Amino acid sequence: MAETKNNSEQIEEVTDESSLSFEPVENVPGALEAALFAVGEAIEVSKLAAAMGVSEKDVLGAYETLQKKYEDENSGIRIVRLDDKLQLCSKNEYYDVLIRLVNMPKKHILTDVLLETLSIVAYKQPVTRLEIEQIRGVSCTHAINKLIEYSLITEVGRLDAPGKPILFGTTDDFLRSFGISSMDELPVVSADKIEDFKRQAMEEANLTIET
């Protein structure tokens, strides 16, 4: 599998190519702003200069231009110099907004596989991973781990059997997410629906094998 490089590594790779030839950037402040925004971390002035085909003095001049721009405008960001590096940062007065944003509940996308696995847990709980897989017909380890990560299911005990397999059940977050106050409010699932789970799981397994 090919290794992926982050943005700063890609910039370093480009600037190391001595044979690379290009026209110097005309709008250095704009190019500097774009580079710092895209990378999202501090970048050495020398690398920025090499990437834009200009001198380090030009880059520092652009830094001062942007610094004045962000000070004069009602901007939420600022540009800072960290030794020989430059970086875009949010202004301190908006720190509380950022904290609230980070702490907001995240909305997770539930794929068909996750929904099917969650449905089995909801209706069969407490249930083991093996029981879920017997219904779906395929491995459910990834789906179970994702549902635990999303706080929709959790470990509720251990089955009194060899190996003491984990029993899974739904959480209070599950009830809140689906707008119900108790498991009694879940609609009744017919045997045909369980067969649909099995059929869809077999199709999923066949698709995985074919690809």
Query: Which pLDDT belongs to residue 207?
Result: 47
> How long, in residues, is the chain?
211
154-186 confidence digits (pLDDT tens): 999 998 889 899 999 999 989 988 888 888 888
What is the band of 6 on the pLDDT scale with cuts at 50, 70, 90? Answer: low
Q: At 100, which amino acid appears?
A: R
What is the band of 19 on the pLDDT scale with cuts at 50, 70, 90? Answer: very low
Query: Which pLDDT belongs to residue 187?
Result: 76
103-154 confidence digits (pLDDT tens): 776 667 888 889 999 999 998 899 999 999 988 888 899 999 999 999 999 9
Distances (CA, A) of 88 to 74, 77, 85, 163: 15, 7, 11, 53
56-109 confidence digits (pLDDT tens): 999 999 999 999 999 876 889 999 999 899 999 998 888 888 888 877 766 678
**Contact (Cβ atoms closer than 8 angstroms) between residue 122 and residue 197:** no
Structure tokens given for 115: 């929904």
Q: Return the CA Rg of the chain.
A: 27
**Contact (Cβ atoms closer than 8 angstroms) between residue 51 and residue 11:** yes
Residue in the block written with tokens 């085909």: 53
Mean pLDDT in residue range 16-20: 47
Looking at per-residue confidence, does 108 or 55 come out higher?
55
Indicate the pairing of strand 153-158 with strand 77-82: unpaired
Q: Which DSSP symbol is given to 187?
A: P
Looking at per-residue confidence, does 188 or 120 come out higher?
120
Q: Which domains does the chain have, with CATH numbers?
A: 7-98 (1.10.10.10), 112-210 (1.10.10.10)
Q: Is the pLDDT of residue 16 over 80?
A: no
Pairwise CA distance, residues 197 & 136, whole Å: 6
